[in-house]
Amino acid sequence: MRKKTTYILSLFIIVQQFTHAQNINILVANTKSKIEQVKDYTALGKMKTNVAFLKLPIANVKVYFKNPNKFKLKSEKGVSFVPKGSMNINLNSIFTENNFTIIDAGSEKIDNIPVRVAKLLPNDDNNDLVLTTLYIDPVRLLILKSKTTTKESGTYELKMNYNKYATYSLPDKILFSFNTKDYKLPKGITFDFDDGTTNSSTPKTEKYKKGEIEILFSNYEINKGISDDIFK
Amino acid sequence: MLNLLQIELYKIYKRPRTYIAFAAITAIVLIFQFAFKSDGQSYMNLMLQNVQDNFELDKSKAINGYFMCYIILNTLLVQVPILVALIAGDAISGEANMGTLRLLVTKPFSRTQLIVVKFLASFLFTIILLLWMAILALFVSLLIFGTDDLLIFRVKGEESQILQITQDDVIWRYFAAFGYAAIALTVIASLGILLSVFAENSIGPIVATVCIVLFFTIVSNINVPIIDKNIKPWLFTSYLVGWKGFFYIGVDADGQPIKGSIENWLAIRNSLYILIGHIGLFIGIAIYSFRKKDILS
């Protein structure tokens, strides 16, 4: 009797784990399908750059996306520093690569919203992408946060807030975090005016610092068609 | 006194060496503009360094007329004192050298008036030279390179920074900077006149003024803490670059530039006081010495 109970319990655990794993695959697939309903979009944005050595005003930007992975972030006016990993701002870029293994990494909470954590590992060893972690709201099928580690460009983190365009999986606000190297000009080449003020807030030894880009989106135009010329 | 000033200005106008300054500025500015039009991106790459690892920047937009003017002023305002010294250093000693000083002081003008007029003539020369620089470095650059936001590369304490000033917030800073530069260069003119009082030929005071400016400028830029703390504040050359303070835009707690602001106006104001104090001191000593001077030539 005891042996039989152990056998049933083991079988139950195996079945549940299999179902759970299948659930995360389905969840990721459903989330992907929801994102893919948007074939193209444009949106206006206000981009705020928060990097220690860059003192930049809030930039008015326009973003363009066209299926499957064409994305462009353009400044409407003035000189603009566009983050090199800005492609990652676009959620579709996460699913450009179909050939990956999904691992269920449990559940967490983001801003008190329960999320499922899925780790996406590319099957191709030569892929620049090393690992993507998605934090998915299973009720609304929305990615609230993603962490992407690449071989070439380090780790990016993306946090999304949804409101008006949640049905299209398009965020109203994103916070894009990345590592940035220290910026150091040799003394003497700029002939600076010493006004007596100094910056001592940052430790001198910190070679890599965190940079953040916040974009508030508005005026989405979805599935209205975009010319390919914009992405050239 | 106005007549005397007109005569002094006429003398400057007639002197060939006056035009050396204008020719030198024209040549330097044109070479800068040509170099940046041909390959400004290399300079931008040098200044941006590893920022390009994380960010993309449209460098052709960043190299605009405002940026060019800043770069040109950054280089030229170190050299222009030499050009001002060419005129100011000749003010009294030139007369002594030509044998006209004795004749000049017999005219119905006081020696104080004579020095004041020489000073005003040198001051006006400096203003005209700066106007010429403004036309070439700012307005011609705007014509060639167009307008856009201005990027300022700066070393502040131990950190380096890139400041962005929107194009609608730039032009007033240039007017203020040129105004400041006029006062800074007038210090050099005053020094030239002071040294000129003690010499019998032009070469001595011109070379002496240039040497003092060069020596002080080098010491001001050594960047050794002991010199920065104890010697730099006492050298007037440390304040000559104060015009840059108008381009150090103030930022809020989030690091966003505040339009129309200056980071440290008090430092600029104090620098202006120090420079004006130097002008008063140099001209005061020049007047005192000239009044006591036994003129034999």
Q: Which domains does chain A have, with CATH numbers?
A: 2-193+206-231 (2.50.20)
- Select from B81, B29, B129, B28 the least CA-distant residue to B240: B81
Cα B112 to Cα B103: distance, rounded to the nearest angstrom: 16
**Min Cα separation B75/chain A (Å):** 9
- Select from B264, B152, B267, B148 the least CA-distant residue to A53: B152
**Min Cα separation A62/chain B (Å):** 16
- Work out the average pLDDT over A172-178: 90
Binary contact (A184, B160; C-beta < 8 A): yes
Question: pLDDT grade, residue A178 (50/70/90)?
Answer: confident
Query: Which residues face A210 on adjacent strands?
Result: A179
The rounded average pLDDT for each run of 10 residues, N- to C-terminus, in chain B (297 residues) is 84 86 92 92 84 82 93 83 87 84 83 92 92 94 94 86 93 95 94 91 90 89 80 88 93 89 93 95 94 78
Backbone angles phi, psi at B87, to 5 degrees: -90, -50
Largest CA distance in chain B: 72
Contact criterion met (CB below 8 Å) for A102 and A193: no
Return the percent helix, strand and coil in chain A, to nearest 5: 25, 45, 35
Residues B270-289 as b/e (b if ≥16 CB within 10 A, e otherwise) read ebbebbeebbeebbeebbee
pLDDT of residue A13: 54
- ipTM, interface predicted TM-score of the complex: 0.80
CB-closest option in B248, B257, B259 to A195: B248
Collapsed DSSP state (helix, strand, coil) of residue B69:
helix
**Min Cα separation B130/chain A (Å):** 19
pLDDT of residue B50: 78
Q: Give the total number of structural domains in chain B.
A: 1
User: Is residue B297, in this structure, part of any structural domain at all?
Assistant: no
User: Is residue B194, in this structure, part of any structural domain at all?
Assistant: yes
Query: Which DSSP state fits A186?
Result: P
pLDDT of residue A197: 67
Q: Is B243 on the interface with A (CB under 8 A)?
A: yes
- Select from A67, A44, A46 the least CA-distant residue to A57: A46
CB-closest option in B154, B160, B256 to A58: B256
Q: Which residue range(s) make up the domain with B236? A: 2-292
Bigger pLDDT: A188 or B242? B242
Contact criterion met (CB below 8 Å) for B104 and B114: yes
pLDDT of residue A208: 55
Query: Which DSSP state fits A85?
Result: G
Contact criterion met (CB below 8 Å) for A135 and A111: no
Binary contact (B55, A53; C-beta < 8 A): no
Contact criterion met (CB below 8 Å) for A180 and A202: no
